Structure 1
């Protein structure tokens, strides 16, 4: 048995200044909605929407409330700090995880208010926090059930000038491949975990997959971030309709990037608020 984990719902970037980050991600070619604020937590965020997943950029609004680890992460730097997996029912996933003997917390309600020009969106979620030993290579992870999915995406929010349509892959660094493989077999099932000599691939049946690599491979790629420790979420790849058009937009907006082969672009982390971000031809 597992915790009934679904697809990658949204990776999360932690940043110190959401207003500056919003302007920078506009330069990267994204449509960036206004800042939303969690009512129960002390965090606030920007959510950049795609048809079936999205990118959350999270910062601190009220340091006296629960911050889900954002504060401690930002002491080390900015960048990718978490992954949320979609679930159909937070309660069912919690019970399945509990029955499987997993370290898993009861579902908690979370409300995010997003003020638009003509109205306020009142978005609701149920989230399940996972024990740290269940997600090596991802820094933080949780399960997320959307209760207001019909209002999460608004007209025009997915028409990104850079042509992004979805996440393609997340990459994380692990120090112990055997332990990591065993952890994910417990969480998502053996059929979804492929162990190879120098990496682990996690397949969720749809959406982005996850590649777990070693520190040496992360260094080779230029994605090593040793300040984050031995296991961490290193990078994310976004799929675009036309990589040449994406490259042209980045050049026009003064964004520094490298061409890593046909149809693959890597943005310099300094131009993505610390995130190691790739664009790849879909």
Structure 2
């Protein structure tokens, strides 16, 4: 059974510098990410030893065409999306379509200009329903987008992301979409399995935000797992 890896979790914030400070005060190492050409966005990253990361993203101007901005504008700081890392993005998209997943589009181009001037390029694929993650695959070397080394070491002992909790309106309907997206073998006992992590669906019909991620569990030294608890995720 080939499982996909968690790539990153997206957190939209109004004040990036304050969010970075909150992370650093909690013992996380934060690095500047850069700017996204053609968008009003810049970001910072919290990268873990397991290769997953938190993306803190902010907007310099209103961007009503972007769902992340609409969520930020309507509801304030918080989790807005998450991504999986495919081994072969076009193949994963084709397999999902063959299993009956409708509304998935990609590959779509993306990129970021790092503070050192290096251009990072990737491609994504997205499904129209927000209970599913998007796919993100590197075109440039992954280490340009997700650095290695000391930036992955955190004073609080954090080593990775163990779980993403996703709020959905109908758990059974969402699980059916996950089976079409990732295959039957990835869905077991109501949990979606990833390589080294999991996705847990919870029913929240009264949720004001779109369906999507509502919680993250971080792995710490000794394999302890605790919820990500920062001012901008509460």
Per the TM superposition, whether the score is higher than 0.5 is yes
Gaps of at least 5 residues in structure 1 are: 217-224, 244-262, 277-282
Give TM-score, length-normalised by structure 1: 0.72
Q: Over aligned residues, Cα RMSD in angstroms?
A: 2.5
Q: Please state if 1:156 is matched with 2:162.
A: no
In the TM superposition, residue 30 of structure 1 has moved relative to its aligned partner by: 1.1
Structure with higher strand content:
2
Aligned residues: 228
1:233-264 per-residue CA deviation (whole Å, 9 max, x = no partner) reads 21101101159xxxxxxxxxxxxxxxxxxx56
Give TM-score, length-normalised by structure 2: 0.86
Q: Is the 2:19–2:232 contact (alpha carbons within 8 Å) kept by the matching residues of 1?
A: no
Cα separation, 2, equivalents of 1:265 and 1:178: 27
Cα separation, 2, equivalents of 1:266 and 1:8: 16
Structure 1 residues 53 and 189: alpha-carbon distance in aligned structure 2, compared to 1, 3 A threshold: same
**Which stretch of structure 1 is more off in the superposition, 100-109 or 10-19?**
100-109
Gaps of at least 5 residues in structure 2 are: none
Q: Which has the higher contact order (CA 8 A, sep 6+)?
A: 2
Match of 1:226 among 196, 203, 207: 207
Cα separation, 2, equivalents of 1:123 and 1:92: 22
| Secondary structure of residue in 2 paired with 1:160 | coil
Structure 1 residues 191 and 25: alpha-carbon distance in aligned structure 2, compared to 1, 3 A threshold: same
Larger-Rg structure: 1
The 5-angstrom pairing of residues 57-206 of structure 1 reads: 57-63=56-62, 67=66, 69-74=67-72, 75-102=74-101, 103-115=103-115, 119-132=116-129, 136=131, 141-147=133-139, 148-151=141-144, 152-195=146-189, 200-204=190-194, 206=195
Q: Is the 1:59–1:70 contact (alpha carbons within 8 Å) kept by the matching residues of 2?
A: no
Cα separation, 1, equivalents of 2:213 and 2:105: 22
Please identify runs of 4+ aligned residues in structure 1 that moved more than 4 A.
Answer: 263-268
Cα separation, 2, equivalents of 1:162 and 1:81: 25
Q: Please state if 1:211 is matched with 2:205.
A: no
In the TM superposition, residue 273 of structure 1 has moved relative to its aligned partner by: 3.5
Q: Is the 2:63–2:70 contact (alpha carbons within 8 Å) kept by the matching residues of 1?
A: no
In the TM superposition, residue 11 of structure 1 has moved relative to its aligned partner by: 1.0
The 5-angstrom pairing of residues 9-88 of structure 1 reads: 9-51=7-49, 52-63=51-62, 67=66, 69-74=67-72, 75-88=74-87
In the TM superposition, residue 177 of structure 1 has moved relative to its aligned partner by: 2.2
Counterpart for residue 241 of structure 1? 221
Structure 1 residues 38 and 273: alpha-carbon distance in aligned structure 2, compared to 1, 3 A threshold: farther
Structure 1 residues 175 and 98: alpha-carbon distance in aligned structure 2, compared to 1, 3 A threshold: closer
